[in-house]
């Protein structure tokens, strides 16, 4: 039997050392796999962060483009104004009326009909102040002749008046 033990002992030792090597290799592989998973998780988190940042930049660029388009549109919107005095004679006396007409244009396309009002005018009334006081649209005097014959435009920072929304 001692002969059998001497023959089997190297095989058992080889088998035991093989099992130990297998277990050590498995442990090393698990360590490497854990490190790989950690690197993968960090990379995925970094990618998610970059994706969020890219989406925010895209949204900001779209909003800026919308604001620019609206500003460009409003720069092409202008108000044309005309006014004249009308005299009406009645049984008592002659009366004067200021007829004020305003119309909105986009470039050279009229967006609304003429908005017309008649205002009674007393002698000595400053007509320019009266026009500014009763004008439907805000008066803006930009520099330069690019805004049309009357030099009036709708400002880009103020909301569009109710009358303009109703006319559109």
**Domain spans, the chain:** 78-167
| DSSP secondary structure letter of residue 153 | B
What does the pLDDT look like over 25-52, one tens digit per residue? Answer: 999 999 999 999 999 999 999 999 999 9
pLDDT for residue 140: 58
| DSSP, res 147 | G
- The C-alpha atoms of residue 74 and residue 104 are separated, in whole angstroms, by 11
3-class state of residue 124 by DSSP:
coil
Rounded distance between C-alpha atoms, residue 131 and residue 46, angstroms: 62
- Separation CA 38–CA 23 (nearest Å): 23
Closest CA to 135 of 150, 162, 117: 117
Comparing C-alpha atoms, which of 70, 68, 71 is closest to residue 60? 68
* pTM for this predicted structure: 0.47
What pLDDT is recorded for position 141? Answer: 53
In total, the chain counts a number of residues equal to 168
How confident is the model over 61-120, as pLDDT tens digits?
A: 999 999 999 999 888 988 888 888 888 777 777 788 888 888 988 988 999 898 888 888
Distance CA 78, CA 66 (A): 20
């Amino acid at each position: 039997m001692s002969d059998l033990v001497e023959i089997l002992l190297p095989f058992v030792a080889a088998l035991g050392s093989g099992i130990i090597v297998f277990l050590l290799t498995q442990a090393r592989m698990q360590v490497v796999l854990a490190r790989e998973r950690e690197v993968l998780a960090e990379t995925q988190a970094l990618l998610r962060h970059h994706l969020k940042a890219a989406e925010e930049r895209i949204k900001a660029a779209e909003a800026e483009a919308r604001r620019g388009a609206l500003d460009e549109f409003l720069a092409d919107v202008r108000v044309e104004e005309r006014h004249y005095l009308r005299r009406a004679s009645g049984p008592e006396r002659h009366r004067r009326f200021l007829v004020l007409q305003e119309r909105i244009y986009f470039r050279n396309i009229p967006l609304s009909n003429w908005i017309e009002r008649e205002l009674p005018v007393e002698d000595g009334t400053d007509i320019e102040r009266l026009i500014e006081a009763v004008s439907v649209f805000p008066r803006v005097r930009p520099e330069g002749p690019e805004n049309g014959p009357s030099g009036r435009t709708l400002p880009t920072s103020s909301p569009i008046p109710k009358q303009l929304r109703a006319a559109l």
